[in-house]
């Protein structure tokens, strides 16, 4: 099993806790408390994103791609960390915001602005649980499939998503599938448009 995100967040939780302890030892009690809180949030995400647990609904992302206010507050250390990380990664890597994998079907990373979307007013399949749907995307066809980065949905969720995307393609609407950072590995379970086969999809996510 790939425990990449779980390990990363576990390491982050450890680092933040060590900073908390260091500041406590220097008698910077008030300054240390945010690091303790951020460490606890990172630990919770680490546990929830572990393959054996895998609870992408932890962050309570809604089907319209928004987050409740309480979630934005409670999980703010993680939610805003990944947004900043995504922006910096895109800025420094020079990666394309999307790639066309077959006619009318694109995959990419979280589109934080309209210019990061493919042409043709595409229908959007959002495979993230930590990134919001941007306000300027309202009115576009949208399907939310909350998934931890480096994780895959259940076969039944994949099947219904492929059916939704197939209907859009039948209407000649482009489809943009995005995960957190645009890695094809994260979206390969939807590389099914060559034959629209919805069965045996679990073989694509192993």
* CATH number corresponding to 96-204: 3.90.190.10
| DSSP code string of 28-87 | -HHHHHHHHHHHHHHHHHHHHTSTTT--GGGG---TTS---HHHHHHTHHHHHHHHHHHH
Name the residue ranges covered by the structural domains of the chain.
4-77, 96-204
Pull the structure tokens for residue 184: 């094809």
CA distances 159 to 50, 145, 156, 196, 205, Å, are 23, 12, 5, 10, 12
Pull the structure tokens for residue 60: 């309570």
Instruction: Report the pLDDT value the prediction gives residue 137, as an integer from 0 to 100.
Output: 87
Residues 106-153 pLDDT 10s? 888 899 888 889 999 999 999 999 999 988 888 889 999 999 987 878
Pull the structure tokens for residue 52: 């054996």
Residues 142-190 pLDDT 10s? 999 999 987 878 778 888 888 898 899 889 999 999 988 876 444 444 4
- Average pLDDT of every residue of the chain: 84
Distance CA 32, CA 35 (A): 5
Given a contact cutoff of 8 angstroms between Cβ atoms, the answer to whether 60 and 67 are in contact is yes
Instruction: Report the pLDDT value the prediction gives residue 161, as an integer from 0 to 100.
Output: 86
Q: Which strand ranges, in their side-by-side order, compose the sheet holding 175-178?
A: 98-102, 105-108, 175-178, 123-126, 142-144
């Amino acid at each position: 099993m790939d425990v990449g995100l779980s390990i990363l967040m576990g390491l982050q939780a450890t680092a933040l806790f060590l900073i908390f302890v260091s500041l406590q030892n220097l008698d910077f009690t008030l300054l240390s408390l945010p690091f303790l809180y951020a460490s606890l949030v990172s630990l919770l995400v680490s546990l929830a994103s572990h393959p054996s647990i895998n609870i992408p609904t932890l962050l309570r992302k809604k089907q319209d791609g928004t987050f409740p206010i309480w979630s934005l507050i409670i999980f703010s250390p993680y939610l805003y960390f990944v947004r900043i990380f995504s922006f910096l990664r895109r800025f420094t890597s020079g990666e394309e915001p999307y790639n066309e994998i077959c006619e009318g079907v694109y995959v990419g990373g979280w589109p934080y602005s309209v210019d990061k979307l493919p042409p043709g007013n595409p229908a959007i399949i959002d495979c993230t649980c930590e990134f919001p749907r941007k306000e300027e995307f309202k009115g576009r066809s949208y399907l939310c499939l909350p998934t931890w980065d480096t994780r895959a949905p259940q076969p039944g969720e994949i099947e219904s998503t492929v059916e939704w995307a197939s209907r859009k393609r039948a209407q000649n609407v482009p489809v943009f599938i995005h995960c957190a950072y645009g890695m094809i590995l994260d979206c390969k379970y939807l590389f099914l448009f060559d034959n629209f086969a919805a069965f045996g999809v679990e073989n694509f996510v192993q």
